[in-house]
Amino acid sequence: MNLIAAVDKNWAIGRGGRLLVNIPEDIKLFRMETVGKAAIMGRKTFENISEKTSLIERENIVLTRDKTYKNDNVKVAHSVEEVLEYTKEYESSDIYVIGGASVFEQFLPYCDTAHITYIDYKYDADSYMPDLDKLPEWSVTRTSDEHTYFDVCYEFREYKKA
């Protein structure tokens, strides 16, 4: 199972339910990696990135504690086990955990690959994911050259779990 996220130097992923920054090349990578795959996300992430319609060309699975939550465009799950049941027909490499913070934490034990856009800046944030650089079972296996979008420096990293 894969994890995909854009993080800053503190492994922050957002503020006020929004991404820290929109980098076109990061969005392009996200689309390239996830189209035709299963995308697991929390309800808030789903509502913020898709404006309550599903991400096209993906199997959208929304994890929520709200037992009354309904949306005809997605599969709604109320537990990790229910999400795993929905994704059992997929190859592990075709499943992407896309956020938010709570969903990253819950699914990290199931992931073996992480696609991280690492932004060389510390943002004012209120949402974080686990810092893979501090977890001994995770290591960087690939790093891109440094990229710049206006004054934002970033690189693409691939992490693998041992």
**Among the residues of the chain, which ranges form H helices?**
24-34, 43-50, 80-87, 101-107
Residue type, 43: R
Give the number of domains in the chain: 1
- Predicted confidence at residue 52, as pLDDT, reads 58
**Residue 83: CATH number of its domain:** 3.40.430.10
- Yes or no: say if 125 and 135 are a contact pair by the CB < 8 Å rule: no
Q: Which range marks the domain in which residue 51 is found?
A: 2-161
Q: In one letter, which amino acid is 156?
A: F
pLDDT tens digit sequence for 27-77: 999 999 999 999 999 999 998 886 656 788 999 999 999 999 999 889 999
CA 106 to chain centroid = 12
Tens of pLDDT, residue by residue over 101-146, are: 999 999 999 999 999 999 999 999 999 999 999 999 999 999 999 9
pTM: 0.95
CB contact at 8 A, 111 and 130: no
Instruction: Tell me how far apart the terminal alpha carbons of the chain are, to the nearest angstrom.
Output: 13
> 10 Å Cβ neighbour count for 9?
12
Q: Answer yes or no: is pLDDT of 12 > 80.
A: yes
Q: Is the pLDDT of residue 2 over 90?
A: yes
Dihedral Cα 51, 57, 58, 63, nearest 10 deg: 20
